[in-house]
Structure 1
Amino acid sequence: MEANNCFSTNKILELSQFIETNYGIKMPASKKVMLESRLRRRMRQVGYTSIAEYLDFVFSSEGKRHELGNMVDAITTNKTYFFREPKHFDILVAKVIPQIISSGFTPSPLRVWSSACSSGEEPYSIAMMLGELAEDNHRLKFNILASDLCTKVLKKACRAVYNEEEIKDIPLYYRKKYLLKSKESALGLVQVAEHLRNMITFRRINLMADDFGVKKRMHVIFCRNVLIYFQKDQQERLILKFGRQLEPGGFLFIGHSESLVGMNVPFCQVLPTVYQKISEF
């Protein structure tokens, strides 16, 4: 029995191993309290008082169909904001895109993938920058794929509605140009302009899956502040898969606390935390 609903060591180990194996998210013993707290919040929402009974349901046939994704949403971390690590966006438009164009890029759409987009701040930041660039180069067309493991944040990303605190890092020029204020000004809400929203396709993708299910190769992939949650071997496998997903000479952006040092992957560093694919494999 589960005395006083205490989360047993065996249960935390089993669940942690499942999460890491299937989703790549490290859940060491040091995160036990956080994990239990998030699980309790979710299980109360669906009417359970026992963690053991809740987990039995999650891993039942019915639970796997209807609740497993919700549990994963409940325990994942989704920290993001507009123009996070702003130098990356300057590098994208000032160096990376011009290099792709000069290498013989045709007018077919430039394809960018925000692979851990959370609630949409990163892909919308990219879209604003590329939108400006396209105004100066009318032949430049682009498509953005934005994905995340968490369905809850993807729904928010699709709605593209943010409050004043969430948009504080967007330059004023972009706020005026790309954000629409709510008719009820007291709410303090804005929505990303429709033409910008139409440039982005949102999808749920598990980066640990053998196949991303993305048919076309990308010219640029953003995967920032994700590797830190994975074990070293998982990091390398993911980077290899990104290499297969990139066009020859394509670019990969990672977070400033991350590195590909020591990995046997087909990338060379061109700038801090910016890598270019150098070979097929």
Structure 2
Amino acid sequence: MSGDEPWPPSALPPALSRSELEMFQHLVEAEAGIHLSPAKNALVANRLSRRLRELGLTSYAAYHAYVTTRGNEAEKVRMLDSLCTHETSFFREPRHFDLLREHVFPEWAAQAAQGRRPRSIRVWSAGCSTGEEPYSLAMELLEAFPKGSGWSLEIVATDLSTWAVKRAEEGLWSLERARSIPQLLLRKYMLKGVRTQEGLMTAGPELRTFMRFARANLHAPATWPVGPFDIIFCRNVLIYFGAEARARVIQGLLSRLPETGYFFLGHAESLIGITAAARSVSANVYTPRPGPPFPSRE
């Protein structure tokens, strides 16, 4: 097969050589801070093979040249979309939501009643994937600060993947995803699809009123939403970053929190050895201000 012949639809994708993988390792880390280890060879080949097929290219080197052509920013976005991981669920890592419900929100409500804080809360879901995380946060916020209570609520949900952001903004999922939503919240805030949407559920209008979605690249602070925020969720995202990029992003995220704000990482993530600018208040939860940790949960 010559270099300019498209590979037939029935053909297997071409192999991704070590040198080609290294090309994409450098490109993806430069563009998004994400580190692709050599163990990701098969994943990269599988996820990029569709673009090779659609563009009629016969090698990953040819695709790399196409992506890096000056002015081809749209294809860079498609490439990054292809390589993003979108594993998520409603109320993932439930102890984080327990912490908000049982400690953070009551603390803020008491402070507002004493005139010590405004009746407003801004949340950033940085790495929102297909929306399960920000909609989970929206349900908890409305339970604590219902409509008509005088509180102003805002959730900004962002992701590197344009595809994921679009799915999150649609707020439409398979009913199978409902299993991790508490029944009370499911009945109160989600709508069950009928007719053409049978087997699906969608976020109710009350959740949508204070949510905003956008693409943001954590490796490019110029794309970030304007702070400050009271809560930042950046869970199971930075594990894909190289050490230097991870440290830079964490410093930037912490700078968008006030002293009373809270920063949530995923269960396999920690700030130990990265920064001393935040104090741990619970497992994988930090605040820029000093203070006693919350009681642990068994």
Match of 2:164 in 1: 153
Q: Indicate if the aligned counterparts of 2:175 and 2:199 stay in contact, CA closer than 8 A.
A: yes
Cα distance, 1:116 vs. partner? 0.7
Aligned equivalents of 1:101, 1:235: Cα separation in 2: 33
Aligned equivalents of 1:267, 1:97: Cα separation in 2: 20
Identity %: 34
Find 2:117's aligned residue among 105, 109, 120: 105
Find 1:222's aligned residue among 233, 246, 251: 233
Structure 1: stretches of 5+ with no match in the other structure? none
Map Cα deviations across residues 130-154 of structure 1 (whole Å, 9 max, x no partner): 1111139813221001000000011
- 5 Å matches for 1:135-154? 135=146, 138-154=149-165
Aligned equivalents of 2:184, 2:106: Cα separation in 1: 23
Q: Indicate if the aligned counterparts of 1:39 and 1:71 stay in contact, CA closer than 8 A.
A: yes
User: Given the superposition, is the C-alpha separation of residues 205 and 265 from structure 1 closer, same or farther in structure 2, using an over 3 Å criterion?
Assistant: farther
- Residue 43 of structure 2 corresponds to residue 34 of structure 1: yes
Query: In structure 1, the residue corresponding to 2:244 is in which secondary structure?
Result: helix
Q: Indicate if the aligned counterparts of 2:217 and 2:224 stay in contact, CA closer than 8 A.
A: no
Match of 2:137 in 1: 126
Map Cα deviations across residues 23-58 of structure 1 (whole Å, 9 max, x no partner): 121101111111011110232234434323222222
Query: In structure 2, the residue corresponding to 1:246 is in which secondary structure?
Result: coil
Match of 1:61 in 2: 70
Q: Indicate if the aligned counterparts of 2:105 and 2:144 stay in contact, CA closer than 8 A.
A: no
- Residue 64 of structure 2 corresponds to residue 75 of structure 1: no
Match of 1:48 in 2: 57
- Residue 278 of structure 2 corresponds to residue 267 of structure 1: yes
Q: Indicate if the aligned counterparts of 1:164 and 1:190 stay in contact, CA closer than 8 A.
A: yes
- Residue 24 of structure 2 corresponds to residue 12 of structure 1: no
- 5 Å matches for 1:242-261? 242-261=253-272
Aligned equivalents of 2:270, 2:254: Cα separation in 1: 15
User: Runs (4+) of structure 1 moved beyond 4 Å?
Assistant: none
Match of 2:9 in 1: none
Q: Indicate if the aligned counterparts of 2:230 and 2:258 stay in contact, CA closer than 8 A.
A: yes
Find 1:25's aligned residue among 34, 41, 51: 34
Map Cα deviations across residues 143-185 of structure 1 (whole Å, 9 max, x no partner): 0010000000111111101111122211111111111122217
Query: In structure 2, the residue corresponding to 1:144 is in which secondary structure?
Result: strand
Judge which range, 202-211 or 74-83, deviates more: 202-211
Aligned equivalents of 1:277, 1:41: Cα separation in 2: 44
User: Given the superposition, is the C-alpha separation of residues 91 and 53 from structure 1 closer, same or farther in structure 2, using an over 3 Å criterion?
Assistant: same
Judge which range, 109-118 or 185-194, deviates more: 185-194
Query: In structure 1, the residue corresponding to 2:134 is in which secondary structure?
Result: helix
Counterpart of 1:67 in structure 2: which amino acid?
A: E
Judge which range, 178-187 or 78-87, deviates more: 178-187
Aligned equivalents of 2:31, 2:147: Cα separation in 1: 44
Aligned equivalents of 1:258, 1:115: Cα separation in 2: 15
Cα distance, 1:212 vs. partner? 4.2
Cα distance, 1:93 vs. partner? 2.1
Structure 2: stretches of 5+ with no match in the other structure? 4-12, 291-298
- Residue 90 of structure 2 corresponds to residue 85 of structure 1: no
Please report the TM-score for the alignment, with normalisation by the length of structure 1.
0.91
Query: In structure 2, the residue corresponding to 1:114 is in which secondary structure?
Result: strand
Cα distance, 1:101 vs. partner? 4.2
Map Cα deviations across residues 226-255 of structure 1 (whole Å, 9 max, x no partner): 121112222221111011111222110111
Counterpart of 1:34 in structure 2: which amino acid?
A: L
Match of 2:244 in 1: 233
Question: How many pairs align?
Answer: 276
Cα distance, 1:186 vs. partner? 7.3
